[in-house]
Amino acid sequence: MIEGRVRQVIASVFSLSPDELPARMEPDTVPGWNSLRQVQLVLALRQEFDVEIDPSTIPELITEQAIVEYVQDAA
């Protein structure tokens, strides 16, 4: 459930459909993933999941798995 919502958020931030996302999502595999998009992703995750994201953890949230685990732990 959370995984699907995370994929939807990532797809939305990068203006892609969930089907267009690579199996291994990280900055090297998603077109346009840069520092600005990383901030936009964090803001979208905060809104979607109503979680606070510690700024020191933002650099760690660069894979789908890391994001899912963070959201699960924060919920």
The pLDDT assigned to 75 comes to: 77
Question: What one-character-per-residue DSSP string does 9-71 give?
Answer: HHHHHTT--GGGS-SS-STTTSTT-SHHHHHHHHHHHHHHHT----GGGGGG--SHHHHHHHH
pLDDT tens digits in sequence order for the chain, 75 residues long: 899 999 999 999 999 998 999 988 889 999 999 999 999 999 999 999 999 999 999 999 999 999 999 999 987
For the domain bounded by 2-74, which CATH number is listed? 1.10.1200.10
